[in-house]
């Protein structure tokens, strides 16, 4: 049976067919839909959202050691977080097969960088597979579980945004029920002390030799000979682009397994063609292997080393020409990303933006959009969970150098706080910091499409569970109860009062803004705790003086033309705009 699937759906299907029993992930575009589709197989696969990628990887490792097939999934930057256990797991090897899915984001469609995680496979020395379409996403996921057990190694399945989200036909198969491998105590294999680690290191080198020998004969490393003039060496979605540009007039070496690199096969292919092009996205990963082998080729001197490739870019790079596309008479409307109408972060950011002498350290999440005009209420953003610790460093530096006028406020979301922000807050409290940490609790993981987190009270599989109480958690790590403020972010007076009091103190303070994401499917608990009854706001044109203060809140529901108007369809009645109008021209209707 065939069906149409995205690459992410196909990875989930491959995990199911491959006999997977345990899956864990932290959501992040472009990887999020993998676990959201694995939950469809929850009768056979236990699955969960982890508070961060390191925890997801460690949980998958534990399931593997216990004797079942397991996986962890994350976006590319998440592998930075998971790298600590991954590198040692490469040493110990597996019991049940284990696959780490890294979803890379060439072109930074929704990421803070576009790192090429093929380098991680080489650095950690784990076997790596690179699918180029949905069918291969399913097949390679299943194959990865098998190879993991055959070579006693974790496998990195490297996806990219285009493969994750594009759709293609996929031939479905049946699930292979794998018997649980009985647990056996094996300290020398799984306890990575230095004495054991030295042996593991030697074993790892031996495994690599076996994996490379397999790579040279593996069917997924496939030569396609169509003549001896030009040969293309490529992998992943770049193979699709190369096929579209060069067609059947050149020869290809399509690499499905790119670590260890099949160098014997590459040399054999190179000896049969007169000119070689290496077509790959982002880093010169394949190129570097060819350079070390002394193979002549054309690559990054014409193929861009950054941004996402496509057939037009490849064609222009190689032939200097661009294929004529469909011409349209109208340009697309430019619509920069912005906080949604009714977003509970807007009121807080509006109030914060009016404070003087404040450095605001931000984090990764939809609230990062608070940096955009007219709010402009975030000054820095580096990584998940980094806002509080970078704010701590800044505040301590300012204190040390005698600059007591500039205050530091750090903002972070609820999911991100659980991800790694809690560690940063511990650092602030324990080391007697003085920045104000703001936890923007919108009752869900908003940016990636509403995944549960430890603060929502529900698991990925839909079961109710114990909710982590953020104020009590803050107290548990040493935050004084009188330094914790809980506010409704839609009420500017509450926010202003909390900010003024917290920023005036020369010790750690926390403000928790608590209101559900306006796009969330409200839980019974939400409906009980918050007044979520439908409301709208409207501008009384007789009272409006066109001062445009309401426009300054940056709400996309407010339109500025001859008159200032509120779009009734977009408005959710948060009433933040009403609070900034000095003429009482905005009314709730």
Residues annotated within a binding site for [4Fe-4S] cluster = 544, 547, 550, 555, 571, 574, 577, 581
Residue 218: count of CB within 10 angstroms of its CB = 18
Phi-psi region for residue 357, left (φ > 0), alpha (ψ -120 to 50) or beta?
Answer: left
Q: 260 preceded by cis ω (within 30°)?
A: yes
Q: What are phi and psi of 426, to 5 degrees?
A: -60, -40
Q: What CA–CA distances, in Å, run from 345 to 111, 352, 435, 442? A: 20, 11, 20, 8
CA dist., res. 138 & res. 276, Å (int): 30
**DSSP track, 140-179:** HHHHHHHHHHHHTS-EEEEEEHHHHH-EEEEE------PP
User: Residue 548 and residue 539: Cα distance in Å, rounded?
Assistant: 12
**226, 246 in Cβ contact below 8 A?**
no
Inter-residue contact 181 to 95 (CB < 8 Å): yes
Quote the strand ranges of 338-445, DSSP E: 358-362, 380-381, 407-413, 436-441
**Token duo for residue 180:** 């649980």
The helix/strand/coil state of 317 is helix
Of the candidates 111, 162, 160, which has an alpha carbon nearest to the alpha carbon of residue 311? 162
Q: Which helix (H) or strand (E) holds 271?
A: none
Q: Which residues define the annotated binding site? A: 544, 547, 550, 555, 571, 574, 577, 581
Take residue 584 and report the two structure tokens written for it: 């009482």
- Best CA proximity match to 106, nearest among 37, 164, 155, 33: 164
Q: Which residue has the tokens 């794998």?
A: 178
End-to-end CA separation in angstroms for the chain: 54
Contact 144, 100 (CB under 8 A): no
> Do the Cβ atoms of 447 and 75 come closer than 8 Å?
no
Asked if 450 contacts 523 with a C-beta cutoff of 8 angstroms, the reply is no
Please, is 232 exposed, middle or buried when counting C-beta atoms within 10 Å of its C-beta (0-12, 13-18, 19+)? buried
Neighbours of 180 (CB within 10 A): 12
Q: 156 with 121: CB under 8 angstroms?
A: yes
């Amino acid at each position: 049976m065939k069906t149409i699937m995205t690459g992410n759906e196909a990875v989930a299907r491959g995990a199911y067919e491959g006999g997977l029993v345990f899956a864990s992930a932290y959501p992040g575009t472009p990887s999020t839909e993998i676990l959201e589709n694995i939950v469809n197989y929850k009768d056979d696969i236990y699955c969960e959202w982890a508070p961060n990628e390191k925890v997801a990887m460690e949980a998958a490792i534990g399931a593997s050691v216990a004797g079942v097939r397991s996986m962890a999934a994350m976006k590319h930057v998440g592998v930075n977080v998971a790298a600590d256990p991954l590198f040692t797991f490469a040493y110990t090897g597996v019991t049940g097969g284990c696959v780490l899915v890294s979803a890379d984001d060439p072109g930074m469609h929704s990421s803070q960088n576009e790192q090429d995680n093929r380098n991680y496979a080489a650095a950690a020395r784990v076997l790596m597979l690179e699918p180029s379409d949905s069918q291969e996403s399913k097949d390679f996921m299943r194959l990865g579980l098998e190879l993991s057990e055959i070579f006693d190694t974790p496998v990195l399945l490297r996806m990219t945004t285009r493969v994750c989200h594009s759709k293609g036909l996929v031939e479905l198969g049946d699930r292979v029920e794998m018997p649980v491998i009985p647990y056996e105590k094996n300290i020398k294999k799984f306890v990575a002390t230095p004495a054991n680690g030295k042996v593991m290191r030697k074993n790892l080198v031996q495994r690599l030799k076996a994996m490379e020998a397999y790579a040279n004969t593996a069917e997924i490393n496939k030569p396609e000979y169509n003549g001896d003039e030009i040969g293309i060496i490529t992998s992943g979605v770049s193979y699709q682009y190369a096929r579209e540009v060069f067609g059947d007039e050149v020869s290809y070496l399509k690499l499905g397994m790119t670590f260890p690199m099949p160098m014997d096969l590459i040399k054999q292919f190179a000896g049969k063609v007169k000119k070689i092009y290496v077509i790959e996205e982002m880093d010169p990963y394949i190129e570097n292997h060819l350079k070390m082998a002394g193979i002549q080729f054309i690559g990054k001197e014409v193929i861009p080393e950054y941004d996402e490739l496509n057939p037009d870019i490849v064609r222009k790079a190689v032939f200097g020409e661009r294929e004529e596309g469909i011409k349209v008479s109208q340009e697309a409307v430019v619509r920069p990303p912005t906080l949604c109408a009714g977003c509970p972060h807007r009121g807080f950011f509006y109030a914060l933006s009016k404070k003087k002498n404040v450095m605001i350290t931000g984090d990764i999440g939809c609230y990062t959009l608070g940096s955009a005009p007219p709010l402009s209420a975030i000054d820095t953003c580096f990584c998940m969970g980094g806002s509080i610790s970078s704010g701590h460093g800044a505040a301590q530096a300012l204190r040390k150098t005698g600059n007591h006028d500039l205050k530091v406020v750090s903002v972070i979301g609820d999911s991100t706080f659980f991800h790694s922000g809690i560690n940063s807050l511990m650092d602030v409290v324990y080391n007697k910091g003085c920045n104000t940490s703001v936890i923007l609790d919108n009752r869900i993981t908003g940016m990636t499409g509403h995944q549960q987190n430890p603060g929502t009270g529900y698991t990925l599989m839909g079961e109710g569970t114990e909710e982590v109480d953020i104020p009590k958690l803050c107290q548990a790590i040493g935050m004084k109860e009188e330094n914790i403020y809980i506010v409704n972010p839609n009420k500017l007076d509450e926010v202003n009062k909390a900010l003024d009091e917290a920023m005036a103190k020369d010790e750690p303070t926390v403000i928790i803004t608590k209101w559900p994401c306006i796009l969330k499917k409200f839980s019974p608990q939400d409906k009980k705790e918050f007044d979520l009854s439908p409301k709208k706001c409207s501008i009384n044109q007789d009272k409006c003086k066109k001062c445009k203060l309401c426009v300054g809140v940056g709400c996309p529901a407010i339109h500025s033309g001859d008159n200032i108007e509120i779009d009734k369809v977009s408005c959710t009645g948060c009433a933040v705009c009403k609070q900034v109008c000095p003429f009482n021209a905005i009314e709730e209707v």
